[in-house]
Structures are given as structure tokens and as C-alpha cells.
Amino acid sequence: MRAKLATNRLDLPVELEREIFELAASTDVGTALRLATVARRVQAWVEPIIYSRVVVAHAPEVDRIAQQSRAILAGRIARVHASKKTPKEAQIPRFIRTIPLRPASFFSRHVKSLHVGNLTEPELVAALSACTGISELGWWSATVDPAVAAALHSLRLLRLSVDHSFDFARLTTPHLLSTLTHLDLVFHNSSHPTFPLLEHFTALTHFSIAHSWILPPLTWCDDVFEACPRLKILLRFSDNLFYEELSGLRPRHANLRVVVMIQPVGSWTTRWVHDAWPLAEDVVRERHAHAAGMSIVVFVLLIFTCAR
């Protein structure tokens, strides 16, 4: 029996074995976490995938009551099975507790996307200081204190997704903004939103804004394109504006790069924005193709008319 098992064993080259494990890990986070326990070499292969996108957050305020109710029930169960964690440790996000357990270069090398929400100043500083190699930052319900602003200045971001809690005025230098290609702003909880100076976004090509407040002046889109000469798409998530355009109460903006959509239902980490960008790009591409086709038709008709 042992001999038969030995003859059926499949020995793969290390490179192929690694590729198989990395492919499996990239399809599902749960699978990646299970694969990390297979062997140390597999753990080394899949951990960069596991930590490539990190979400560090406390529960939103609207969920605190339900969370407290669940905590009371959990506390009753915990009397039977005493927890090894102290209450103070339990309140700290797991990722923050993991940072001291790894070499200083681990997270800066592997974390590419970081999303934070409802974190305190020390937690924000710890996460931002550890993940200095990120190219994407999502920010929700957190304050830009001086120590946090200092940590932000060390980043070189390509994508930034923030809500009304992100105070751009706290950034003392435009360095953080000059490298951005994608900017997503969400102003659902703000009746008087404060816009950053778009002139600082010199590399911006994709700009989305989600709002439920009174629509800005008609010239607002033109001002955005003037301030951001490289901008390819201005994506506006607004139910009011969408239905006004659909019903004919408001004409569509003349600039083909302005796209209006209904905001999809999605998580607070703005993955829905990433899913919407390819669709918006298709819309703009089709508009330009249609405009080019119409120009050719007009040109042919003009030639035909002149020939007559």
C-alpha cells in the first residue's frame, strides 16, 4: 500500500506549485487563509496576496447598538469559556495588533490597498506608518489630525476614496495629491460639502463624486475640466440628477466625458466605484465613437451637397 502511494505521488516543479497556490489564493480570501496553514513555503507565497488589500475599521456608529446587544449575549457565553483577550485588546483592530509581530518592511512591501474607517488617531497613525507602500487609500469617518497628516505625507498614492470627514485643508503640502490618477468623493452626510483645490491634482484622469445635496451650478463641470486638464472622465453618482436627465428636465452635459449614474449598493470600502469605472469608460468610448461617426456622415453630406 505504501509503495502504491509513493508511485502515485505527483512531484511538481516549485515554480508551477507556487503558481497553482497563488492562483487559488487570489480567487478567494477564505481559501488563501486556509492555504497559509498548509506549509511554511505556501504561507510565504500566499501572504502577499492576503495582505495586498487590508480593511481596518471599527463598526459604524449606526451599528453600535446592535453590536452592544451581541456583546451582552457573547459575554454570557464567555462566562463558560473564559476569553484569553483582555477588554482593551479586544477593542483594538486585529490588523493593528498584528503590526508589531511582523518585520517593519513586511506591510510596506505587501500592502497595496488600505481602507480605514472609524479609527482613532493612534490607530490611523499605526496603520498608515506601517503601510507606506500603498497606492490606494479608502477613508471613512476619521479625522485628519496633525499626526495623521504627517503620516499621510509619506505616501505616494494613485487612488484616493474619501468621504466628507477627510479634511484636505489639513494637508500642508500638495505632494499627496499630485500623484493621484483616481479621486472618489462621497458627500452623502454633508449638506455643505467642501471641495479640495482641484488645481493640486495635476495627474488626475478619473474623478467621481457621489452627492445627495443640492446640485452645483451648471458651470461646475466646466470648472473641473479646466482645473484638471488630464481628466478623462467625470463620474457623478446622483439619483436626482440621473432621473432629471432621464426625464428630460435637465439636458445632458455637452462634454462627452461627463457620466451620470445611480449609486450602486455596495460596501463602504468603495469597491462599487471600481466596478463602475469600466462601465463609465465604455459609455465615454461609445459616445466618442458615435460623435466621430456623425462627423463623417456630416462631412460626406457636405461634400455631396457641394458637388451638386
Residue 193 lies in a domain: no
Q: What confidence score (pLDDT) does residue 51 get? A: 85
As for how many domains the chain has, the answer is 1
Residue 40 lies in a domain: yes
Residue 1 lies in a domain: yes
What's the chain's average pLDDT? Answer: 78
3-state secondary structure the chain: CHHHHHHHCCCCCHHHHHHHHHHHHHHCHHHHHHHCCCCHHHHHHHHHHHCCEEEEECCCHHHHHHHHHHHHHHHHHHCCCCCCCCHHHHHCCHHHHHHHHCCHHHHHHHCCEEEEECCCHHHHHHHHHHCCCCCEEEEECCCCCHHHHHHHCCCCCCEEEEECCCCHHHCCCCHHHHCCCEEEEECCCCCCCCCCCHHHCCCCCEEEEECCCCCCCCCHHHHHHHHCCCCCEEEEECHHHHHHHHHCCCCCCCCCCEEEECCCCCCCCCHHHHHHHHHHHHHHHHHHHHHHHHHHHHHHHHHHHHHC
Q: Domain containing 26: what range? A: 1-50
Averaged pLDDT, 258-271 = 71
Residue 257 lies in a domain: no
Q: What is the pLDDT of residues 179-208, one digit of tens each?
A: 999 999 888 665 566 678 888 999 999 999
Residue 196 lies in a domain: no
Q: What is the pLDDT of residues 73-129, one digit of tens each?
A: 444 444 444 444 444 444 888 899 999 998 989 999 999 999 999 999 999 999 999
> Whole-prediction pTM value?
0.77
